[in-house]
Amino acid sequence: MEEKIGKTEIENTFMFQKVWPKSTTILSTVEIRFTTGKVDTSSNIYRNEGKGGDHAEKRFLDELKSKIAQRQVTGLKAKLVQNYSPCRTCANDISEFMDKDCKDIEFYPEIEFANFYKDNPDNLGGLEMLKEKGVVFELLEGEEKWGAFLDDATFVSLNDVEKKELLDRAKSEARKINEVNALKIFNNHGLGNTSQPSDGEQQNH
C-alpha cells in the first residue's frame, strides 16, 4: 500500500472540532487464512465514493467479498480504524456480510472509531446489533491511543513537527470534551468496557 494519510486529512476527518466531515475514512488491516495454508495480509484505505456513492464500509466489504468468494477460508480477521462509527445502513451491511459470507467462518471484526456518526437511536441501534453479533468496538481517544495512531507508519505520513501539532490538538480542551461525551454514549449503549460514567449523551451532529 503506497497511499497514506497526512496532517490535513487527520485534522479534517479524525480530529475536527467545528465542521463535521461529510465522508468516512477507513484504515483497514485484514488477514485471510486459506485451507491451502496461504495467509493473505493486506492494508488499505477506503473513503466514500463522492456524493451519493458507496460508503467506505461498503467498499471495504465488497473488496473483502471478492477475496474470499469461491475459496476455502479457515480464518478471517479485520481491524478497522475509522473517523466515524458506522451508520445504520453500514451496520446492516456488516451484519449481512457476517451472516451470509462468513456463515462457516468465525469473523468478529474490530472497529476503532474517533467520533460517533449522528448518535441517533437508529444509528446507535445498529452499533448495538453489531456488538451483540460479536463485533469489537473501541474508541480512539486519549493521549496514548492518539499517539499510537499518529505513529502508525503503515497508514500515516507525518514529520515530527506535524505529529507534535496533532498530538497537541488531541489533548486540547475541545477534543477532550468531545471524547468525554463519546465515552458516555459508548457506555450507555453497552459498546465496550470503560470507566467513564454513563449519564447524558452527545448532541446529534
pLDDT score for 22: 83
Half-sphere exposure of 175 (CA within 13 A, CB side): 19
7-189: which CATH topology?
Answer: Cytidine Deaminase; domain 2 (3.40.140)
Phi and psi of 90, rounded to 5°? -70, -35
Instruction: Break the chain into its structural domains and give their ranges.
Output: 7-189
pLDDT at 203: 38
- Rounded average pLDDT per 10-residue block, the chain, 205 residues: 90 84 93 94 91 90 93 95 98 97 92 96 98 97 97 98 97 94 95 52 40
Determine the Cα–Cα distance for residues 121 and 150; give it in Å rounded to an integer.
32
- Considering the entire predicted model, what is its pTM? 0.90
pLDDT of residue 1: 67
